[in-house]
Copies of this chain bind each other. A is one copy, B any other.
Protein backbone atom coordinates (compact mmCIF):
# COMPACT_ATOMS: atom_id res chain seq x y z
CA UNK A 1 0.00 0.00 0.00
CA UNK A 2 2.65 2.52 0.99
CA UNK A 3 5.44 0.85 -0.95
CA UNK A 4 5.04 3.13 -3.93
CA UNK A 5 5.35 6.39 -2.04
CA UNK A 6 8.17 5.09 0.09
CA UNK A 7 10.64 4.24 -2.63
CA UNK A 8 12.33 7.64 -2.41
CA UNK A 9 15.03 8.73 -0.01
CA UNK A 10 12.58 8.80 2.87
CA UNK A 11 11.99 5.05 2.68
CA UNK A 12 15.05 3.70 4.43
CA UNK A 13 14.29 0.08 3.78
CA UNK A 14 12.67 0.35 0.38
CA UNK A 15 15.42 -1.78 -1.13
CA UNK A 16 14.59 -4.80 1.05
CA UNK A 17 12.30 -6.56 -1.32
CA UNK A 18 10.13 -9.38 -0.06
CA UNK A 19 7.73 -7.47 2.16
CA UNK A 20 7.97 -10.05 4.96
CA UNK A 21 11.75 -9.74 4.95
CA UNK A 22 11.45 -5.96 5.31
CA UNK A 23 9.05 -6.27 8.23
CA UNK A 24 11.54 -8.53 9.96
CA UNK A 25 14.41 -6.15 9.27
CA UNK A 26 12.52 -3.13 10.60
CA UNK A 27 11.59 -5.13 13.69
CA UNK A 28 15.24 -6.08 14.14
CA UNK A 29 16.37 -2.45 13.90
CA UNK A 30 13.96 -1.45 16.65
CA UNK A 31 14.93 -4.33 18.89
CA UNK A 32 18.69 -3.96 18.38
CA UNK A 33 18.46 -0.21 19.02
CA UNK A 34 16.48 -0.67 22.22
CA UNK A 35 18.28 -3.57 23.82
CA UNK A 36 21.44 -4.10 21.81
CA UNK A 37 22.24 -6.97 19.47
CA UNK A 38 23.24 -9.55 22.05
CA UNK A 39 20.30 -8.83 24.36
CA UNK A 40 17.84 -9.22 21.51
CA UNK A 41 16.40 -12.67 20.85
CA UNK A 42 15.26 -13.98 17.50
CA UNK A 43 11.92 -14.67 19.16
CA UNK A 44 11.61 -10.98 20.00
CA UNK A 45 12.35 -9.91 16.43
CA UNK A 46 9.89 -12.37 14.94
CA UNK A 47 7.27 -11.38 17.51
CA UNK A 48 7.55 -7.68 16.63
CA UNK A 49 7.10 -8.58 12.98
CA UNK A 50 4.01 -10.61 13.88
CA UNK A 51 5.55 -13.94 12.94
CA UNK A 52 6.66 -17.11 14.62
CA UNK A 53 10.33 -17.55 15.57
CA UNK A 54 10.89 -19.95 12.69
CA UNK A 55 9.76 -17.45 10.05
CA UNK A 56 12.94 -15.45 10.50
CA UNK A 57 15.03 -18.28 9.09
CA UNK A 58 13.10 -18.41 5.86
CA UNK A 59 14.35 -14.92 4.98
CA UNK A 60 17.70 -14.78 6.77
CA UNK A 61 20.26 -17.49 7.38
CA UNK A 62 21.27 -16.20 10.83
CA UNK A 63 20.62 -13.38 13.26
CA UNK A 64 24.03 -11.97 12.31
CA UNK A 65 22.99 -11.75 8.67
CA UNK A 66 20.17 -9.43 9.75
CA UNK A 67 22.64 -7.19 11.54
CA UNK A 68 24.93 -7.18 8.56
CA UNK A 69 22.15 -6.17 6.16
CA UNK A 70 21.13 -3.33 8.48
CA UNK A 71 24.71 -2.19 8.94
CA UNK A 72 25.52 -2.36 5.24
CA UNK A 73 22.46 -0.41 4.10
CA UNK A 74 22.92 2.17 6.86
CA UNK A 75 26.58 2.75 6.09
CA UNK A 76 25.86 3.03 2.38
CA UNK A 77 23.23 5.65 3.09
CA UNK A 78 25.44 7.66 5.47
CA UNK A 79 28.33 7.61 3.03
CA UNK A 80 26.04 8.70 0.19
CA UNK A 81 24.87 11.66 2.27
CA UNK A 82 28.44 12.79 2.85
CA UNK A 83 29.45 12.34 -0.76
CA UNK A 84 26.43 14.28 -2.00
CA UNK A 85 27.66 17.34 -0.13
CA UNK A 86 31.38 16.87 -0.68
CA UNK A 87 31.64 17.61 -4.39
CA UNK A 88 30.90 20.73 -6.35
CA UNK A 89 32.54 24.10 -6.71
CA UNK A 90 31.23 25.70 -3.52
CA UNK A 91 33.68 26.96 -0.88
CA UNK A 92 34.94 24.27 1.49
CA UNK A 93 33.17 25.92 4.41
CA UNK A 94 29.83 25.56 2.68
CA UNK A 95 30.47 21.97 1.70
CA UNK A 96 31.69 21.03 5.19
CA UNK A 97 28.67 22.66 6.82
CA UNK A 98 26.36 20.88 4.38
CA UNK A 99 27.99 17.52 5.00
CA UNK A 100 27.81 17.89 8.78
CA UNK A 101 24.22 19.15 8.72
CA UNK A 102 23.05 16.32 6.52
CA UNK A 103 25.06 13.62 8.31
CA UNK A 104 23.89 14.77 11.74
CA UNK A 105 20.29 15.09 10.63
CA UNK A 106 20.36 11.50 9.48
CA UNK A 107 21.84 10.31 12.77
CA UNK A 108 19.09 12.16 14.66
CA UNK A 109 16.10 11.33 12.44
CA UNK A 110 17.05 7.69 12.08
CA UNK A 111 18.67 7.38 15.46
CA UNK A 112 17.43 3.84 16.01
CA UNK A 113 19.05 2.72 12.78
CA UNK A 114 22.15 4.81 13.40
CA UNK A 115 22.58 3.37 16.86
CA UNK A 116 22.69 -0.15 15.45
CA UNK A 117 24.89 0.89 12.57
CA UNK A 118 27.42 2.75 14.73
CA UNK A 119 27.47 0.82 17.98
CA UNK A 120 26.99 -2.84 17.08
CA UNK A 121 30.03 -3.26 14.84
CA UNK A 122 31.68 -5.68 17.23
CA UNK A 123 28.84 -8.14 16.87
CA UNK A 124 29.54 -8.64 13.17
CA UNK A 125 31.56 -11.59 11.91
CA UNK A 126 35.19 -10.85 11.04
CA UNK A 127 34.44 -10.90 7.34
CA UNK A 128 31.45 -8.58 7.57
CA UNK A 129 33.22 -6.25 9.97
CA UNK A 130 36.15 -5.69 7.60
CA UNK A 131 33.69 -4.91 4.84
CA UNK A 132 31.95 -2.29 7.00
CA UNK A 133 35.18 -0.77 8.27
CA UNK A 134 36.18 -0.11 4.68
CA UNK A 135 33.01 1.97 4.26
CA UNK A 136 33.87 3.98 7.37
CA UNK A 137 37.35 4.58 6.00
CA UNK A 138 35.68 6.07 2.94
CA UNK A 139 33.53 8.38 5.07
CA UNK A 140 36.66 9.53 6.83
CA UNK A 141 38.35 10.19 3.49
CA UNK A 142 35.46 12.32 2.25
CA UNK A 143 35.51 14.60 5.28
CA UNK A 144 39.28 14.79 5.37
CA UNK A 145 39.30 15.83 1.73
CA UNK A 146 36.92 18.75 2.33
CA UNK A 147 38.99 19.94 5.27
CA UNK A 148 42.25 19.61 3.34
CA UNK A 149 40.85 21.60 0.45
CA UNK A 150 39.67 24.29 2.86
CA UNK A 151 43.15 24.52 4.32
CA UNK A 152 44.73 24.67 0.85
CA UNK A 153 42.34 27.44 -0.15
CA UNK A 154 43.19 29.41 2.96
CA UNK A 155 39.63 29.17 4.25
CA UNK A 156 40.53 27.00 7.23
CA UNK A 157 43.25 26.92 9.83
CA UNK A 158 43.65 23.33 10.99
CA UNK A 159 46.91 22.25 12.62
CA UNK A 160 46.00 18.56 12.71
CA UNK A 161 43.86 17.53 9.73
CA UNK A 162 43.50 13.80 10.49
CA UNK A 163 42.80 14.49 14.16
CA UNK A 164 40.21 17.14 13.41
CA UNK A 165 38.55 14.86 10.85
CA UNK A 166 38.32 12.15 13.48
CA UNK A 167 36.82 14.58 15.99
CA UNK A 168 34.25 15.90 13.52
CA UNK A 169 33.04 12.44 12.59
CA UNK A 170 33.08 11.30 16.20
CA UNK A 171 30.98 14.28 17.23
CA UNK A 172 28.41 13.59 14.52
CA UNK A 173 28.23 9.85 15.12
CA UNK A 174 27.70 10.22 18.85
CA UNK A 175 24.45 12.06 18.13
CA UNK A 176 22.90 8.62 17.65
CA UNK A 177 23.74 7.76 21.25
CA UNK A 178 22.17 10.72 23.05
CA UNK A 179 19.46 11.84 20.65
CA UNK A 180 15.95 10.87 21.50
CA UNK A 181 12.74 11.73 19.77
CA UNK A 182 11.04 13.09 22.88
CA UNK A 183 13.86 15.58 23.48
CA UNK A 184 13.50 19.27 22.90
CA UNK A 185 15.63 19.52 19.77
CA UNK A 186 14.60 18.59 16.24
CA UNK A 187 17.08 16.82 13.95
CA UNK A 188 17.12 20.00 11.88
CA UNK A 189 18.17 22.12 14.86
CA UNK A 190 20.89 19.71 15.94
CA UNK A 191 22.24 19.66 12.38
CA UNK A 192 22.39 23.45 12.27
CA UNK A 193 24.03 23.70 15.69
CA UNK A 194 26.64 21.10 14.81
CA UNK A 195 27.42 22.65 11.44
CA UNK A 196 28.14 25.92 13.24
CA UNK A 197 30.31 24.25 15.88
CA UNK A 198 32.33 22.38 13.25
CA UNK A 199 32.92 25.52 11.22
CA UNK A 200 34.27 27.17 14.37
CA UNK A 201 36.61 24.22 14.90
CA UNK A 202 38.26 24.72 11.50
CA UNK A 203 37.89 28.49 11.08
CA UNK A 204 40.91 30.64 10.35
CA UNK A 205 41.99 32.17 13.67
CA UNK A 206 41.78 35.91 14.15
Contacts and interface: CB of A to CB of B under 8 A. Distances in A.
A29 B201 CA distance: 34
Contacts of A205: 200
Nearest to A164: B197
Contact of A160 (B119, B122, B173, B193): B193
Interface residues of A, number: 31
A178 B166 contact: yes
Interface in A99-115: none
A171 B35 CA distance: 23
A200 B171 CA distance: 15
A135 interface: no
A196 B164 CA distance: 10
Contact of A171 (B122, B167, B185, B193): B167
Interface of A: 35-36, 38-39, 119, 122-123, 159-160, 163-164, 166-167, 170-171, 173-175, 177-178, 185, 190, 193-194, 196-197, 200-201, 203, 205-206
